Structure 1
Amino acid sequence: MDVDKYIESQVKYKDSLILLRNILLKTELEESLKWSAPVYTINGKNVIGLAAFKNHFCIWFFNGVFLKDEKKLLVTAQEKTKALRQMRFESINDIDEDTVLAYAKEAIENQKLGKELKPTKKGKTVNIPEALNAKLKTNSDLKAAFSALTPGKQREYCEHIASAKREATKESRLEKITPLILQGVGLHDKYKNC
């Protein structure tokens, strides 16, 4: 799907999205389609996105937290979003072309200046249970395969073994997961692809 097809599919807000797109195409931003929606980038960095929802359409500013927002038009879409800000509209009459262009130019300038809110790591550490640690020390293939897993997959395996109360259960679980680790798959991968 390309941007034209995306806009065509948004019957309710088609004309509004065309207007916003035309405003953004007046800038130096490059248009692409990411996450099934139009995204506008500069130097490979996401700056602005367009989206349509049931009761509104909006412009996403990927690092909108740095915009001055003197007209108080930006909202945080969700509590957990740190940098993203939305400029929401309910009809084409809500769009002030000069304002949208001014916000877009400020977002572009901020990106050029390197203003980005970098995601912070959660800092979850992988606590390897003794039974698994002992096996990793004696089996270099298993150790290499375990190290190649993502931290999330490593945590899944560690928590699976650590949650067993009896040593016999820990050993039994360790035997069952060893082939999975050697294959480079996660404990719950078969359920994630359903």
Structure 2
Amino acid sequence: MATRDPRIDAYIAGKNAFAHPILQHIRDRIHAVVPDVEETLKWGAPAYLKDGSILAITAAFKAHAALNFWRGGEIAGGDAKAGAMGQFGKLQSVDDLPANLDEIIAEAAALAATAPASRRPKTADKAPVELHPEFADALAANPTARATLDGFSSSARRDYLEWIAEAKQDATRAKRIATAVEWLAEGKKRHWKYENC
């Protein structure tokens, strides 16, 4: 049997009296259905994890509580109500929970065990930005600035190279090159003014 996190005991105790039985009932049912569940706090609210993946999160507010299954959209019977808080709406008593809560918890645990791969698409590598010939000449005349630019990370180098390449007029480009060489000679990154904000 998994141990209970005392922080969740404190969370439940610190909420309005109406929420105590709701949160405790959900907690007890999750432990009964998923004996190896882990408890923790996520975003300041009780969270229940299965094999390191979030199974469910509960929360209590001034006048209602909420139960959110992490992959609730994939659970049968856990359809979110329109404009509702969580899959089951605003819970104001234990009676507001579905009768088949144990089945929903079991299904959520099975889904948590088969966590999907990240949906975030892999970003393509950015094409390298060429060193503008006028900037190369200015850097050749100032070896300190050149050494600083070469010592920067690729993103810091890209900041300078894109800034100069984006200039549409020759006068703007010349001014940016002069400024860049001055800042590089001082060891400054392109956005150095904002580093300590």
Pick the TM interval, shorter chain. 0.5 to 0.7
Cα RMSD of the aligned pairs, angstroms, is 4.2
Tell whether the 8 Å contact from 1:56 to 1:88 is kept in structure 2 after alignment: no
In 1, Cα distance between equivalents of 2:195 and 2:148: 21
In the alignment, does 2:46 pair up with 1:38? yes
Partner of 1:51: 59
Residue 86 (structure 1) shift: 3.2
Structure 1 segment 103-182 matched on structure 2, within 5 A: 103-112=104-113, 114-116=114-116, 118-121=118-121, 123=123, 126=126, 130=130, 142=149, 145-147=152-154, 157=159, 161=163, 166-171=172-177, 172=179, 176=183, 179=187, 181=189
Partner of 1:62: 70
Q: Structure 1 residue runs of 4+, over 6 Å off?
A: 132-135
- 1:6 pairs with 3, 8, 11, which one? 11
**Residues 160 and 179 of structure 1: is their aligned pair in 2 closer, same or farther, counting only changes over 3 Å?**
farther
Partner of 1:82: none
- Letter matched to residue 11 of structure 2: Y
- Letter matched to residue 103 of structure 1: I
- 2:97 pairs with 58, 71, 95, which one? 95
> Over residues 151-191 of structure 1, what are the superposed CA-to-partner deviations in whole Å (9 max), with x where a residue is unaligned?
xx898x46983666621453325754884559xx9874544
In 2, Cα distance between equivalents of 1:19 and 1:99: 13
**What's the TM-score, normalizing by structure 2?**
0.62
**Residues 59 and 169 of structure 1: is their aligned pair in 2 closer, same or farther, counting only changes over 3 Å?**
farther
**Residues 186 and 8 of structure 1: is their aligned pair in 2 closer, same or farther, counting only changes over 3 Å?**
farther
**Residues 128 and 106 of structure 1: is their aligned pair in 2 closer, same or farther, counting only changes over 3 Å?**
same
Tell whether the 8 Å contact from 2:88 to 2:97 is kept in structure 1 after alignment: no
Partner of 1:81: none
Tell whether the 8 Å contact from 2:47 to 2:56 is kept in structure 1 after alignment: yes
**Residues 117 and 63 of structure 1: is their aligned pair in 2 closer, same or farther, counting only changes over 3 Å?**
farther
Residue 91 (structure 1) shift: 0.8
Residue 57 (structure 1) shift: 2.2
**Residues 173 and 73 of structure 1: is their aligned pair in 2 closer, same or farther, counting only changes over 3 Å?**
same
Identity of aligned residues (%): 20
Gaps in structure 1 of 5+ consecutive residues = 79-84
Residue 118 (structure 1) shift: 2.4
In 2, Cα distance between equivalents of 1:110 and 1:159: 47
Residue 41 (structure 1) shift: 0.9
Gaps in structure 2 of 5+ consecutive residues = 1-5, 140-144
| Paired residue total | 172
Residue 13 (structure 1) shift: 2.3
Tell whether the 8 Å contact from 1:161 to 1:173 is kept in structure 2 after alignment: no
